[in-house]
Structure formats: structure tokens, C-alpha cells
Structure 1
Amino acid sequence: MTGLVAAPPCVGRACAEPSEHLTQVELVWIEKQTEHWIRFGRELREQILDRRRRLLFFPPGATFALVRWAANEHGTVLSRLDIMRAVARGAACQTVPTVTPGGDFLLRVDGWPKVERVLQLVDAIEAAGIDPGDVSPDHWRHVHNRLAAGETPRTYTPAHHRAFLLRREIGA
């Protein structure tokens, strides 16, 4: 049969998990033209499609940051950062290109100055020894709202993180 190519093998911890139960993110990297990358998040597996494209698969509830950038001969035409939670199939969600079926948006910023500011906040969280994928969803919503209002977001501290983890543990 001509034209049929076997899918590349998956890479990661849970290759046995059916893809239809996972959120799929397609990443594209065409140097200086279209660049999509994950800033943080723990995917269950990866599938390489070709030298410029790959798929990442996230379980329901996983938080990840997707950065999308594009340019043409006149300069940057898109700078966007979305922090979202993967959803279970059939759950209500918001859609974004390259994410199937979509996600629960915690933060969305457009324009390089705001994208850069969020990347700095992510760096600060990591410098505090906290995995950004484990941060309280409410904090990412807070950052989104403060940036949308032109205000400075509060710092996410280890004390905030401990409180979030304890609150999650007791189910509050």
C-alpha cells in the first residue's frame, strides 16, 4: 500500500494510555516563522511527526503553558501564551488552535510584552523551587486578571503554595 506510513513510536511514561482520553497539543517549529513550544507541563507521551512537528499528550487535570509565536517578512504577527488545564473528553472547554479537544483556560495573554512578563513570573516561581505546573489554578487566573487590568500580580510564594496544597488535600 503506497502512501501509508506507520506512526512513529511514542516516547514517555504512559504509551499504553489511549490517545482519545488525553489532550493533544501539536507543536510546530519552523525557525523564524512559526514557533510553538511548551514552557512548562508534564506530558504523558510525545509523538514525533516529522522534523518540524510533534504531538504531546497531557492527562486530564494537567496544567501546561503553550507559547505560540509567528512572524512574516514584516516582523512578528503573533505572540501568545496560554496557561490551561487539560480536560477529560466530553468536558466543557475552550478551544485554541493546535490543542485537541481544548482546555480550561487559566491565563491568556497576547503581545510580546505581556508574554515576556508571564515568562518572568514563571521563572520566579521556578526560582522559588515550585513547579509551575503545580501552582494553584487560582493564581494563574489572578495573574491573567491583573495583567488585563494593567496591574502587577501578587507574587506566588512557597507559603501560598503550601496553603494551596493543604486546601487541595482536604478537598476545600
Structure 2
Amino acid sequence: MSIRTTVDLLWIEGQVERWIRFGRIVQETLTSRSRSTVGFDPGAVFAFVRWSSNDYGTVESRIDILRAVQPGASCSTVPCVTPGGEMLLRLSGWPKVEAALLAIDQIEALGLAPEDVCPDHWRHVHNRLTTGLDPRAYTELRHDAWLKRREIGA
């Protein structure tokens, strides 16, 4: 049994695009020029983006922010992710996906790695965007509070 969460990636320009937006990849296997599989250690947080189209336009736009689980732990299933992951954010439809990508950009503009922010922030972004509201911005002050909370094990 693999201890890593793996994600199958595919890039066929203009048809199917599955990629990792952020996360610490610890293993990568290239199958072909357009296919690869990446792996994440348990506890790692990563964003997986899926997009596909046909002759009539976009068919699918999705983003999932997941936390890789320990072997045997319960998890949500996600296409192309084995075994699945703890769901922190799951959005579909380009306007919501684009808003989530902007939230990621905002965090990176602070000089922070999105995989290091408080997992509760991704749940907050999910809940706000799902209901059509703007999420609160992640700040350095919130990040410091998260690091202190994690330090004491809360």
C-alpha cells in the first residue's frame, strides 16, 4: 500500500488540462509528454485544477484544495486522486474557480506559500464563494495566529 496520495495529471492543449496549482510534490513520474503522476506525503495540502472543453466550449472547470491523508484514513474521493483527500475547498464553474485562484494569488503576494496557510482559511474561502460572497483576505496576522495555534497543538 502506498503511503502517498497520488494525482494523475494530463495536459492536452485546449481539450483537457489537469494540473497542480500549489503543493509540495515529493514524487513525480512522467508517463509521456502530456501525462504524469505526482505524489504528496500525508498531511500535505495541495490544489488540483481540472478543466476540459469540447467543440462547443468549456465542459468542466473545477478546483479542489485537499489535504493528503494517512493510509487507511477516511477521505473524500476526487477523480484522478488516489486514494482521495480531506476536502478543504471544492468549487466548480469558472467564476468560482477564478475567484479561488485569485485568493491563492493574494496569499502568494504576501510572500506565503498557499500550502502553509491555515486549512480553516480554505474552508472559509469555499463557504464564502459557494454562497456568492467574497472571502476575507488572509493576512500575515492571521498566519502568525495559525502558526502559534499549531505550535501549541490546538
Please say whether Structure 1 and Structure 2 have the same fold, judged by a TM-score greater than 0.5. yes
Give the corresponding residue for 1:38.
20
Is the aligned partner of 1:151 residue 2:133?
yes
* Structure 1: stretches of 5+ with no match in the other structure: 1-18
Give the corresponding residue for 2:58.
76
Give the corresponding residue for 1:61.
43
**Matches of 2:36 and 2:129, distance apart in 1:** 31
Q: Which amino acid aligns with 2:18?
A: H
TM-score with structure 1 setting the length: 0.88
Identity of aligned residues (%): 59
C-alpha deviation, 1:124, in angstroms: 0.6
Q: Deviations over 1:79-105 (max 9, x none)?
A: 000000001111000001100000000
Give the corresponding residue for 1:99.
81
The count of aligned residue pairs is 154
**Matches of 2:61 and 2:131, distance apart in 1:** 19
* Aligned equivalent of 1:121, options 103, 111, 124: 103
Please tell me the root mean square deviation across aligned C-alpha atoms, in Å.
0.8
C-alpha deviation, 1:131, in angstroms: 0.4
Give the corresponding residue for 1:25.
7
Mark the structure with the bigger radius of gyration: 1
Q: Which amino acid aligns with 1:121?
A: A
Q: Deviations over 1:31-71 (max 9, x none)?
A: 11000010000011100011111000000000000000000
Q: Which amino acid aligns with 1:22?
A: R
Q: Which amino acid aligns with 2:74?
A: A
Give the corresponding residue for 2:114.
132
TM-score with structure 2 setting the length: 0.98
Q: Deviations over 1:119-155 (max 9, x none)?
A: 1110010001110000101000011011111111111
Q: Which amino acid aligns with 1:65?
A: A
**Matches of 1:114 and 1:157, distance apart in 2:** 21
**Matches of 2:124 and 2:34, distance apart in 1:** 34
* Aligned equivalent of 2:93, options 103, 108, 111: 111
